[in-house]
Amino acid sequence: MSTSSEAKRRRTFAVIAHPDAGKSTLTEALALHAHIISEAGAVHGKGGRKATVSDWMEMEKDRGISVASSALQFEYQPEGHTGEPYMINLVDTPGHSDFSEDTYRVLSAVDAAVMLIDAAKGLEPQTLKLFRVCKARGLPIVTVINKWDRVGREPLELVDEIVTEIGLQPTPLYWPVGPAGEFKGLAHINEDGEADNYIHFLRTAGGATIAPEEHYSPDEAADKEADLWETAVEEAELLAADGALHDQELFEACETSPLIFASAMLNFGVHQILDTLCAIAPAPRPRSSDPAAVAASTSAMDETRELDADFSGVVFKVQAGMDKNHRDTLAFMRVVSGEFDRGMQVTHAQSSRSFSTKYALTVFGRTRATVETAYPGDIVGLVNAGSLAPGDTIYAGRKVQFPPMPQFAPEHFRTLRAKSLGKYKQFRKALEQLDAEGVVQILRNDARGDAAPVMAAVGPMQFEVMQARMENEYNVETVTDPIPYSVARRTDAESAPVLGKQRGVEIFTRTDGELIALFGDKWKLAFVEKEHPELTMEPLVAD
């Protein structure tokens, strides 16, 4: 098949939501319905149950939360589809707000998002924040109301909340039969807003296997479910009369969102999610270069990389320690254009250096498989690509450089040091690696020295991850201490000496060479800005 044909059958999407909405459980359920695993791990960290395959850190298993993104790839054949199976690239993301930066990076590497909403809680702060990022990036969103097997809110109330809070019009494709807590099945809603088929689900033990389905015509459904079916039909008709019908152009413009009700725990409505993504989610598309890089380049550079052009890819995550048996670093890359062949020589756009891609993997949780060939939309793990960082571009043939990843302004700061001086060498090695991954930002200055650098983070749980990984992966116990700062600003060489003399201000150098000024609080910042308006004090957020 040609590169463009391979790209057409790719579906690359992320699952986003507030913590505890069921992202990792849904990820596992999707893999189950694709027949990649034979039994779902159910909810991790409770009652001795297994952790989901996408959670590989010990910390994730212990706490039952996802703190790192995980990329899964598998083929899927929708019901009634007779062509080549679709290739699914699914990225499970951290739900905790402390790891927003990791989630934002993932959203730059996918073509669509599944927004998971808890049936009882509705829209929550992290969901709202992530929706706005998707909207800004033009990512089409499929909305899934999860946990419909538990007591929750009215379905029309949830639809109204989505419209009111974020201005996104849900367009039902599968409407629930039975209120929250009494999930019987789904009414399939056709393009005219009519319920034309009833899918009745049968429970399995603990939801560990695929839930069998029974299909009924509308008349049969009315006989079987009586008032429950009638209510579902009336609600669907009410939304249709209000114009809540699927329109592909409006969906891709992020103005409407196909809506599905499900229970990831029970595996109800799960393959309907996959079928919907295969049918309507956008396939990979050409990507534009970074305008600043094009303007600064002294050689010819593609302003837009077409799918069938030479190979190019963008790194969106760097991760070490995924497997204690493999002491290596994985750079997760989204293939943007062309055909990737393992072992090919590529060029790192940021440094213009060449390197070989001899070791390339697909990653399913901790399970690794060598990848020989990949196409636009695929996620590939490059092994021991230590020179790569999130946002970097690699390419073959004509040069291209994609826009950089956003960096977020840290609000929490602590020093980090090794408990034992005898572990200093391991400490420095671990620090270098985890800094490159972007677990935290590392700040240094001469006064504090290399033995006690400052960690800068969006949320305090990042510090816990840093310490846990240092101990588990590098055998280095560490100690952290708070420092009296809460605001960071980017500065320059001319302003730094003056800023450094201000009480309650300290100057650091970040690993990328940027000069960072830390202020005690926003009032201190405001005072210095008023007294020295000529000095550079820029917000760290870059988008």
* Binding site, annotated residues: 92-96
Q: What's the rounded Cα separation, in Å, for the pair 390 and 259?
A: 32
Q: What is the CA radius of gyration of the chain?
A: 25
| Residue of 494, 504, 516 lying closest to 409 (CA atoms) | 516
The residue whose two tokens read 């295969």 is 278
Annotated binding-site positions for GTP: 92-96
Go through 409-434 and write b for each residue having 16 or more CB atoms within 10 A of its CB, e for each that does not: ebebbbbbbbeeeebeeebeebbebb
Residue 521 is classified by DSSP as S
| Residue of 338, 251, 345, 352 lying closest to 286 (CA atoms) | 338
Report the run of H or E that residue 24 belongs to, with start and end.
helix 23-33
- Upper half-sphere CA count for residue 477 (Cβ side, 13 Å): 4
Query: Which strands make up the sheet holding 360-364, listed edge to edge?
Result: 353-356, 345-348, 393-395, 312-320, 329-337, 379-383, 360-364, 367-370
Query: CA 347 → CA 165, 296, 310, 481, distances in Å?
Result: 45, 18, 12, 41
Task: Determine how β-strand 454-457 pairs with β-strand 379-383.
Answer: unpaired
Q: What's the rounded Cα separation, in Å, for the pair 3 and 310?
A: 10
**CB-based contact 183:211 (threshold 8 Å):** no
DSSP for 255-299, written as a single string? SEEEEEE-BTTTTBSHHHHHHHHHHHSPPP--EEPPHHHHHH-SS
Q: Which amino acid is at 173?
A: L
**CB-based contact 146:232 (threshold 8 Å):** no
DSSP for 119-181, written as a single string? TTTBS-HHHHHHHHHHHHHT--EEEEEE-TTSS---HHHHHHHHHHHH--EEEEEEEEES-TT
